[in-house]
């Protein structure tokens, strides 16, 4: 007999596999019919069915394993300890999260106070807010410049009012400002 069940084709389960599934009642109608039709005449199939039925019976007849005396108390204590530790960790994580939020809120509040404190009696009204706030929040049309650019503008305008020309950045050059040496004869 072929080792493949006839109706399955190339990828069909083997007779042995069908027999194993058959004892569990886990075969399709076709395979069940095939087993029923062949078990009386096919010695191999009959042997497989008998063997797997016995293996299943052996396993199903295993006794119930129970822990030794005190085993459940150990399990109880271990799980209780682990769950308590997890609860503590969870609580600490929540406390940490709340603390972090509180610190953040406090930092924002302090920052707001500084902004307000700087904006009221500011002797350099255009300079400082420009650094602290985006240009679009200072009224007027939104400008795409950054706080740094605005700050530079603010410094420039303050300098104009004070009457000082802002120093332009000095450029470094390798050329000397001294007049070139003439090709003169050395002194005698």
Partner 1 sequence: MDQETTSVRPRVASGTARAADAARPAPAAVPRTWEDVARDYGPMLYGVAYRLTGNESDARDLVQDTLIKVNRSLHTFEPGSFSRWVYRILHNTFLDQVRRRQRIRMQSLPEDESRFDRAELAPDPEAALAQYRLDEEIQQAIDELPPDFKAAVVMCDVVGLGYQEIADQTGVAIGTVRSRIHRGRAQLRVRLAHLLEEDAR
DSSP codes joined into one string, 20-50 = HHHHTT-S-HHHHHHHHHHTTT-HHHHHHHH
Q: Which of 2, 29, 40, 69 binds partner 1 (CB under 8 A)?
A: 69
Cβ 45 to partner 1 shortest distance, Å: 14
Name which of 112, 92, 90 is nearest 100 in CA terms: 92
In the complex with partner 1, the residue whose CB is nearer, 13 or 147, is 13
Q: Between 81 and 110, how does the x/- string for binding to partner 1 read (CB under 8 A)?
A: -xxx-xx-----------------------
Separation CA 89–CA 130 (nearest Å): 45
In the complex with partner 1, the residue whose CB is nearer, 9 or 63, is 63
Q: Are 111 and 132 in contact (CB under 8 A)?
A: no
Stretch that binds partner 1, among 35-43, 61-69, 139-147, 168-176 (CB under 8 A): 61-69
Cβ 153 to partner 1 shortest distance, Å: 58
Q: Which of 40, 60, 140, 186 binds partner 1 (CB under 8 A)?
A: 60
Q: Between 9 and 48, how does the x/- string for binding to partner 1 read (CB under 8 A)?
A: ----x--xx--xx--x-x----------------------
Q: Are 154 and 124 in contact (CB under 8 A)?
A: yes
Contacts of 53 by beta carbon, 8 Å cutoff, 6+ apart: 23
How far, in Å, are 127, 136, 143, 147 from residue 153 at the CA level? 8, 15, 13, 10
Under the criterion CB under 8 A, does residue 64 sit at the interface with partner 1?
Answer: yes
Helix (H, G, I), strand (E, B) or coil at 118: helix
In the complex with partner 1, the residue whose CB is nearer, 87 or 119, is 87
Q: Which of 68, 120, 141, 181 binds partner 1 (CB under 8 A)?
A: 68
């Amino acid at each position: 007999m072929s080792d493949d069940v006839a109706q399955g084709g190339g990828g069909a389960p083997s007779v042995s596999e069908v027999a194993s599934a058959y004892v569990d009642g886990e075969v399709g109608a076709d395979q069940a019919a095939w087993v029923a039709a062949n078990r009386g005449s096919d010695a191999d199939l009959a042997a497989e069915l008998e063997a797997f039925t016995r293996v299943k019976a052996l396993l199903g007849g295993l006794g119930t394993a129970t822990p030794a005396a005190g085993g459940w108390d150990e399990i109880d204590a271990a799980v209780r300890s682990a769950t308590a530790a997890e609860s503590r960790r969870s609580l600490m994580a929540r406390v940490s999260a709340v603390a972090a939020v509180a610190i953040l809120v406090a930092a924002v509040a302090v920052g707001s106070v500084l902004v307000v404190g700087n904006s009221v009696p500011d002797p350099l009204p255009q300079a400082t807010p420009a650094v602290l706030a985006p240009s679009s929040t200072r009224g007027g049309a939104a400008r795409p410049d950054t706080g740094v650019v605005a700050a530079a503008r603010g410094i420039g305008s303050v300098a104009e009012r004070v009457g000082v020309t802002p120093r332009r950045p000095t450029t470094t050059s390798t050329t000397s400002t001294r007049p070139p040496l003439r090709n003169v004869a050395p002194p005698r």
